[in-house]
Amino acid sequence: MSNLDRQAALSVCGGRGFVPGEPVHELLSPRHVRLGESTRVRRLLPNLGRRMVGGWAFVDHYGPDDIADEPGMQVPPHPHMGLQTVSWLHDGEVLHRDSLGSLRTVRPRELGLMTSGRAISHSEESPRPHARYLHGAQLWVALPEAHRNVEPRFEHHPDLPVVTAPGLTATVILGELDGVLSPGTVYTPIVGADLTLSQSATASLPLHPDFEYAVLSMSGEAHVDGVPVLPGSMLYLGCGRTELPLRAGSDAGLMLLGGEPFEEEIVMWWNFIGRTGEEIAQAREAWMTGDRFGSVHGYDGARLRAPDLPPVPLKPRGRVR
């Protein structure tokens, strides 16, 4: 999914400088962003107070939206580099096309994982006809220096492993949880899991004390480590935890995100992750004038034009909060 912000700012993210070494509770409120004609998203990362969670660098939550009489998601072809995109649905379908020739419909609780590596472009749209409701999350994972120029690829995993406990089902999207491993390719120590809680359920998930964690509420009423988290908000939990207590006031859906704090400082702008502003500027120019990112065939519409860059290129000098 694209960042469609026409005033996209260069942001420095990553580094361990502002990662707390102990458990914390930071409730992150979303910024509302329009995505295409009929979809509004709640952007949780990057956030004014928290730029990353492990390798997770971008989190949008959208829906549930009634799109019965709407076009639904319509994101024209756009480029990515230096990151992985994770498409995750609770309702609806998203048709993915990319410059590798991939054509795949991603459905609820199926993993659509695109590794941009050095360069890729793709589009996302609600199929025609499409389901009435659209509800999901789109996330990015930053690629570390050693792997940020890997060959691009797209993976579709319709069947993912689960961890179960009374009243809890945890689908392992990426990485490992409680000894259960996702088939999705990862390049940093990371975890992403979809949690389904039954009304009145209480459960505790095992965590890695070296990871930092956050929980995104997708639906329902849930308390995370005793803190109520409403749908569309995210609770940042810090490091140093060995378990995570959960309690549901109603049937609830959550996403657990975590990983080792991302050591490297990165520069993120629009749909690119790099290391310097100059590198970002070169990628923008390549999208506007060259063929580095390839072409997406079959989308009914023009590709996205990149926004203007800020006038002064940015180099990492420390984490921006």
How many other C-beta atoms lie within 10 A of the C-beta of residue 25?
13
Which are the contacts of 127, defined by CB distance < 8 A and separation ≥ 6?
93, 95, 105
Distance CA 61, CA 150 (A): 28
Does residue 273 contact residue 4 with C-beta atoms inside 8 Å? no
- Distance (Å, rounded) from C-alpha 163 to C-alpha 151? 32
The answer to whether 4 and 37 have CB atoms below 8 angstroms apart is no
25 assigned binding-site residue: no
Query: Which residue type is seen at 69?
Result: D
On whether 78 is known to bind a ligand per the annotation, the reply is yes
- Residues 6+ positions from 290 with CB-CB distance below 8 Å: none
Q: What is the DSSP letter of 283?
A: H
Encode 51-99 in three state secondary structure.
CCECCEEEEEEEEEEECCCCCCCEEEEEEEECEEEEEEEEECCEEEEEC
Residue with tokens 């009435």: 132
DSSP state of 296: -
What is the CA angle 117-184-105, rounded to 5? 85
Q: Which two tokens stand for residue 139?
A: 């996330």
Strands of the sheet with 94-98, listed across from one edge: 74-80, 120-125, 94-98, 103-106
d(CA 91, CA 87): 12
Binding residues: 78, 80, 122, 124
Binding residues for Fe cation: 78, 80, 122, 124
